[in-house]
């Protein structure tokens, strides 16, 4: 079964994602965010509100639930080669994410670069969900690159 979109009351979505309520209403009116009314209360698509918050730089990757679920790995060092084997992803892909600043370096053992495993796990999960070879999936702040949907 396909994943169904989550909807939130508009005031809760504004509070959760740090957006101005009037801005959210204008996005609804412009058709950029899907909305509906249930029992007299306006609801909005959580994914679309989150995308808007990310686009406005209200949220960074550290604020996303997908990143926070790997909090237990924060500060754990893993070598690039070791991470590539552990997560089943190409060494070059991990190295490019590291070079772009998507994955933090937390140390070094000789010539071995140690990456923050929380960043690695997050990037790999997002890549598996949304990426494919040669497709841009992260913006400069490490959150998913938002492709404009037709309105």
Q: What is the pLDDT of residues 81-114, one digit of tens each?
A: 999 999 999 999 899 889 888 899 998 999 999 9
Instruction: Mark whether 126 and 75 lie in a shared domain.
Output: yes
Asked whether residue 146 is domain-assigned, the answer is no
More confident residue, 133 or 112: 112
* Contact residues for 55 (Cβ-Cβ < 8 A; gap 6+): 146
Same domain, 25 and 47: yes
Q: What range does the domain containing 109 cover?
A: 67-130
pLDDT at res. 67? 85
pLDDT at 151 over 50: no
Q: Are residue 74 and residue 124 in the same domain, yes or no?
A: yes
- Answer yes or no: is 143 within a domain: no
Q: Does residue 118 lie within any of the structural domains?
A: yes
- Residues 6 or more apart from 117 whose CB is under 8 A from it? 70, 73, 76, 77, 78, 83
Average pLDDT of the chain? 82
Residues of the chain above pLDDT 90, percent: 28
Question: pLDDT digits over 31-40, tens only?
Answer: 888 899 999 8
The contacts of residue 19 (CB under 8 Å, 6+ apart) are: 13, 49, 52, 53, 56, 58
Q: Are residues 81 and 45 in the same domain?
A: no
The answer to whether residue 92 is domain-embedded is yes
**Count of structural domains, the chain:** 2
Residue 136 domain-assigned (yes or no): no
pLDDT at 148 over 50: no
Does 149 have pLDDT greater than 50? no
| Same-domain check for residues 85 and 109 | yes
Mean pLDDT of the region 108-122? 92
Q: Is residue 145 part of a domain?
A: no
Helix (H, G, I), strand (E, B) or coil at 146: coil
- Give a yes or no: residue 83 inside a domain: yes
Q: Is the pLDDT of residue 29 over 90?
A: no
What is the model's pLDDT at position 116? 93
Residues 33 and 75 occupy one common structural domain: no
């Amino acid at each position: 079964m396909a994943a169904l979109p989550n909807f939130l009351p508009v005031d809760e979505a504004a509070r959760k994602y740090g957006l101005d309520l009037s801005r959210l209403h204008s996005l609804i009116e412009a058709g950029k965010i899907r909305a509906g009314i249930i029992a007299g209360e306006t609801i909005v698509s959580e994914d679309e509100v989150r995308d808007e918050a990310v686009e406005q730089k209200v949220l960074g990757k550290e604020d996303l639930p997908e990143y926070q679920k790997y909090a237990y790995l924060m500060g754990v060092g893993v070598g690039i080669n070791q991470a590539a084997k552990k997560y089943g992803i190409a060494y070059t892909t991990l190295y490019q994410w590291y070079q772009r600043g998507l994955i933090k370096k937390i140390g070094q053992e000789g010539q071995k670069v140690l990456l923050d495993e929380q960043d690695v796990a997050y990037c790999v999960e997002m890549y598996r969900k949304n990426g494919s070879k040669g497709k841009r999936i992260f913006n400069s702040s490490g959150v998913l690159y938002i492709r404009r949907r037709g309105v």
